[in-house]
């Protein structure tokens, strides 16, 4: 019972910790690149995303909690958004990815799972579509097939806010 209470408490804290904000806005001293990064928000349970811009190029960063499974994605694997107006946006993974093992101990509770991290380049038109129309469903392809998740209205609004953050004047 204590473990269930702890997990609920951690989930609640996690939800408030995932507020939409800019967590990094700096110019790299060595490369001169202007880098802006947002906080992570949930697409759905165990599926956070973030946005990074480098000199105006926009990248969509996605992590997937794989549980006990090890997933991988080939370079060019698709990530698809079905928007609430039934339009589809398709992104391509920028590099081959394989899930990494993650673990943490919180008190007497030990958590562990595999996490697959991927990155996609977004065009200006895709960003405008994602700002204008909420996401309804996401699908991403792994070497084992595809995984699809419904996006709640609340999470869709949070993702839209991320995109609005990166297009405001810095």
For the record, the structure tokens of 11 come out as 């989930």
Average pLDDT over residues 78-82: 97
pLDDT at 19: 66
For the record, the structure tokens of 48 come out as 């956070």
Domain of 34, CATH number, reads 2.60.40
- Least confident segment among 8-12, 68-72, 74-78, 86-90: 8-12
> CB–CB of 156/84 below 8 Å?
yes
Residue 162: pLDDT above 60?
Answer: yes
For the record, the structure tokens of 51 come out as 């946005």
pLDDT at 40: 95
- Least confident segment among 13-22, 43-52, 67-76: 13-22
Among 169, 159, 166, smallest CA distance to 84 is for 159
Helix (H, G, I), strand (E, B) or coil at 37: strand
Residue 127: pLDDT above 70?
Answer: yes
Q: Please tell me whether the overall predicted TM-score, pTM, comes out greater than 0.85 for this model.
A: no
> CB–CB of 10/106 below 8 Å?
yes
- Give the domain range for residue 14: 2-167
Q: How many domains does the chain have?
A: 1
Helix pair 153-167, 124-132: axis angle to 10 deg: 140
């Amino acid at each position: 019972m204590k473990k269930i209470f702890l997990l609920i408490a951690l989930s609640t804290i996690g939800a408030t910790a995932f507020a939409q904000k800019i967590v990094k806005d700096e110019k790299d001293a060595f490369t001169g690149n202007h880098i802006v990064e947002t906080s992570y928000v949930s697409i759905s349970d165990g599926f956070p995303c973030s946005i990074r811009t480098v000199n105006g190029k926009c990248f969509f960063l996605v992590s997937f909690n794989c549980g006990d499974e090890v997933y991988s994605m080939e370079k060019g694997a698709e990530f698809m958004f079905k928007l609430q107006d039934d339009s589809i946006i398709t992104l391509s993974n920028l590099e081959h990815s394989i899930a990494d093992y993650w673990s943490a101990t919180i008190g007497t509770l030990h958590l562990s799972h595999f996490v697959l991290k991927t990155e996609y380049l977004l065009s200006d038109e895709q960003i405008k579509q994602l700002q204008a129309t909420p996401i309804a469903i996401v699908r991403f392809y792994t070497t084992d097939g595809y995984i699809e998740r419904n996006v709640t209205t609340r999470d869709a609004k949070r993702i839209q806010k991320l995109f609005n953050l990166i297009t405001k004047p810095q």
